[in-house]
Amino acid sequence: MPGSSAETLLINTIFSVALEKKATDIHLMPGNYPVLRLDDKLYVLAEEQVLTVDAINALVDSWLADEDKERLRSEREIRTVFTWADRARFRATVFYQQGYLAVSMRRIPETISDPKSLLVPDVVLDKIAGLQGLIIICGSFNSGRTTTMASLVQHINMNYSKRITTLERPIEYIFANNRSVVNQREIGRDTPSFVHGMRDLLDDDVDVVTVTELMEPGSHELVLTLAEGGKLVLAIMDTNSSISAIEKFLDNVPHDKRKWAKDSLASVLRAVVSQRLVPGIGGGRVLACEVLTMSPAVASILQEEKFTQLNNVLQTSREEGMVSLDFRLNELVRGGKIAAEEAKKFALDPSNIRAR
C-alpha cells in the first residue's frame, strides 16, 4: 500500500466507503477528490482529502508487478486486476493524463451470477447447449460484457463435462473446476497475444474457447477457424449493436479472405448478443440484451452484404429467438424493472418506448 501512514489511511478509507456504498467504480486523479460511481451516477467524496500525485504514484507502485510497471512506462496505459485487503477485487486501468498517473477501477463481483439471474435471454442458453459455433457478445465499455461471458462459462462449467480455455487480458473472474476443466490464460503472462493463444488451441483437446478481445490482426480469422473445427467460441467485440458487430467482423478480415469469412460466418455463427446496463427501479442496473441469431434470411443478407436489412429481420423474427434492443427495453419497462425515461436514453429509437 502507499508509503506514508496518511496515504495508506486515505486509500483504505476510499475503498472502505466504496464497499459500504456498493459503488461499482472508483476514479482517482491527482488534484481532485476521489470519485465513486453509484447506480450510474458519479459521487464525489468531498469529505476526504484531495488526492496528491505522490499518493497515486505510491498506490500504483505498491501493487503493480515489475513487468506491468515496465509496460506502463512504454505503453502509458495498462489494464490489470487489483485486490484490496483480501476484501474485494477490481479491474483497474492505470493511465497518464496531463502527464500524471490516474487510476480507474471497476469492482469485480465476488460470485459469478447465473445467466437467468442476469436476465440473459433463454435463446442464448439454447445456442450454448449446442457446444459448437461462435457466439459474439458486444456492447460499449462497461456494459457488462465480461460478466455475461463469465456467467455463460460458469453455466457450461456447472452443466457440461468439457475442457474450457479462456484467453483474457486481464483475468477478472476466477473459475473453480466443476463438471468441466477450466484453464485461464492471461495475455502477456501466459501467452504472448490473443492470436498466439488461439493458434495454440487449433489442434488442442479443448471444447470451449473464450476470447475477451477481437482487435489483433488475424484474430477474426482464427475465431472462425476454431469454430469451424467444432469448438464453441465466445468472443467479445467493441460495437454498439449486433448488426454493427457483423459488419465490423467482416471489415477486419483481409479482402482476399472475405468470401471465405462470409461463408464461414454464415455456417458457424449462432448468436450475436448486444447489451446495455440500464439503471433499475430501486437501484442497481438491469441487463437489456438484443439478440440476433443465424437464420436463412440472415445468412442471405450476410452473403449479399445488405446489412441495413438486418434491422427488419430483428423486428420480425421473434419466433426464431431474435429480440431487438427496443423490444427488450419495452419488456423491462412493462415488467417494472426499469423506468420508461431511462429506457428511452438507451433505445435506438426512443419513440419505440412506451410508458408502463
The Cα 152–Cα 64 span in angstroms is 30
- 243 to each of 138, 274, 331, how far by Cα in Å? 10, 9, 21
- The three grid cell numbers given for residue 342, joined into one nine-digit string: 431511462
**Domain ranges, ordered by start, for the chain:** 5-108, 122-352
Note whether 206 and 237 are within 8 A (CB): no
Crossing angle (nearest 10°) for helices 194-201 and 219-228: 20
CATH number for the domain formed by residue range(s) 5-108 = 3.30.450.90
pLDDT at 148: 97
Task: Please tell me the pTM assigned to this model.
Answer: 0.91
153-170 in b/e form (b: 16+ CB < 10 A) is bbbbbeebebebbbbbbb
Closest CA to 325 of 355, 302, 295, 353: 353
CA 100 to chain centre: 28
Note whether 145 and 124 are within 8 A (CB): no
The Cα 167–Cα 172 span in angstroms is 11
Note whether 271 and 123 are within 8 A (CB): yes
Per-residue pLDDT tens listing for the chain (356 residues): 455 677 788 889 999 999 999 999 999 999 999 999 997 789 999 999 999 998 899 889 988 988 899 999 999 999 999 989 889 999 999 999 999 999 999 999 989 999 999 999 999 999 999 999 999 999 988 899 999 999 999 999 999 999 999 999 999 999 999 999 999 999 989 999 999 999 999 999 999 999 999 999 999 999 999 999 999 999 999 999 999 999 999 999 999 999 999 999 999 999 999 999 999 998 889 999 999 999 999 999 999 999 999 999 998 999 888 999 999 999 999 999 999 999 999 998 899 998 76
CA angle 110, 289, 106 (to 5 degrees): 30
CA 15 to chain centre: 23
Q: Would you put residue 40 in left (φ > 0), alpha (ψ -120 to 50) or beta?
A: left
- The three grid cell numbers given for residue 249, joined into one nine-digit string: 467482423
The Cα 248–Cα 252 span in angstroms is 6
Say whether 188 sits in a helix, a strand or coil: coil
Other CB atoms within 10 Å distance of the CB of residue 201: 22
Q: Any residues with CB less than 8 A from the CB of 213 and at least 6 apart, and which?
A: 169, 187, 194, 219, 236
Note whether 211 and 194 are within 8 A (CB): yes
48-66 in b/e form (b: 16+ CB < 10 A) is eeebbeebbbbbbeebbee
Burial group, residue 192, by CB count within 10 angstroms (0-12, 13-18, 19+): exposed
The Cα 185–Cα 208 span in angstroms is 13
Alpha helices in 107-160 (DSSP H): 122-129, 145-159
Give CATH superfamily name and number for 122-352: P-loop containing nucleotide triphosphate hydrolases (3.40.50.300)
Q: How many residues does the chain have?
A: 356
